[in-house]
Amino acid sequence: MERKEKALEQLRNQFRKLKKNRDLVFACEKEISGNRIKNILTNLFDSIYSDRIPFPFDGFHTIKGNAAKDCQLFTTELFSGNLNQAWISARKVQQRNRAVTVLHESWQALARDGSIRKKPGNQRVGRIVDWLDHELKQAKRLNLGSIVRQLCKPPFGCNIASAGMLIGVFVAARKELIALTRKDVTIGMAIWLQDAFQGNFLNMAALDETNVQLVSEEESGEWNSLLDGWDLERTYFGQKTFLEKAIDLDRQIPIPPSLYYRYELFKDRASEAVAIVEKWNNRIEQQFEHLQRAYERENAGNLSRGAASLIRLKQEMLSKEEAWTKEQFDQIESLIQRARQAAVQFFQKWLQTQVVIDPKAVGEYKHRMLKLIGENLKIMELHDEFQQLEEHVQKIVSDVDRRARIKVIVDEVKSFVESRRVTPASKVAELKGWLKTVKNMKSVLEDAKGKDNIPQITKAEGQIQDFEKSCREQLSAHKNRASLIWETELMSLQDVKNTAQEVRTLLTIYDGMEEDVEDFHVISRFLGIFENHYHHLASIDLTGDELNTKCNGFVEDVIEMLGDDDEIPWDIEETYKKFILSISEQRSSYAERWLDEHIPLDKKISTFDAKGANQLRAILQSPPAVLDKQQTGRVEHALKACNERLDNLEIDGLLARFQRLSKEARMIFLKRAQKII
Q: How confident is the model at residue 511 (pLDDT cuts 50, 70, 90)?
A: confident
Look up residue 486 and give its DSSP letter.
Answer: G
Give me the torsion for CA of 15, 21, 26, 32, rounded to 10°: 130
Q: How confident is the model at residue 450 (pLDDT cuts 50, 70, 90)?
A: low
Give pLDDT, residue 561: 87
- Tens of pLDDT, residue by residue over 262-279, are 777 777 887 888 888 888
Domain ranges of the chain: 2-48, 63-214, 297-398, 405-482, 488-575, 599-663
Who has greater pLDDT, 126 or 247?
126
Three-state DSSP state, 142: strand
Give pLDDT, residue 261: 66
Q: How confident is the model at residue 218 (pLDDT cuts 50, 70, 90)?
A: low
Poorest-confidence range of 202-211, 445-454, 533-542? 445-454
Give pLDDT, residue 89: 92
For residue 149, is pLDDT > 90? yes
Give pLDDT, residue 436: 92
For residue 589, how many other CB atoms are within 10 A of its CB? Answer: 11
294-301 own/partner pairs: CB under 8 Å, 24+ apart? 294/342, 295/342, 298/346, 298/349, 298/350, 299/346, 299/350, 300/342, 300/343, 300/346, 300/347, 300/349, 300/350, 300/351, 301/350, 301/354, 301/373
- Tens of pLDDT, residue by residue over 239-252, are 888 777 777 877 77
Find out whether 506 and 551 touch, Cβ atoms under 8 Å.
no
Average pLDDT of every residue of the chain: 83
* Amino acid found at 573: E
DSSP 97-137: HHHIIIIIIIS--B-TTSSBPSS-SSHHHHHHHHHHHHHHH
Q: What is the pTM of this model?
A: 0.39
For residue 93, how many other CB atoms are within 10 A of its CB? Answer: 7
Measure the CA–CA gap between 356 and 13, rounded to whole angstroms: 112
Poorest-confidence range of 294-303, 304-313, 351-360? 351-360
Residue 154: which region, alpha, beta or left (left: phi > 0; alpha: psi -120 to 50)?
beta
Three-state DSSP state, 185: strand
Find out whether 109 and 103 touch, Cβ atoms under 8 Å.
yes
For residue 677, is pLDDT > 70? no
The length of the chain in residues reads 677
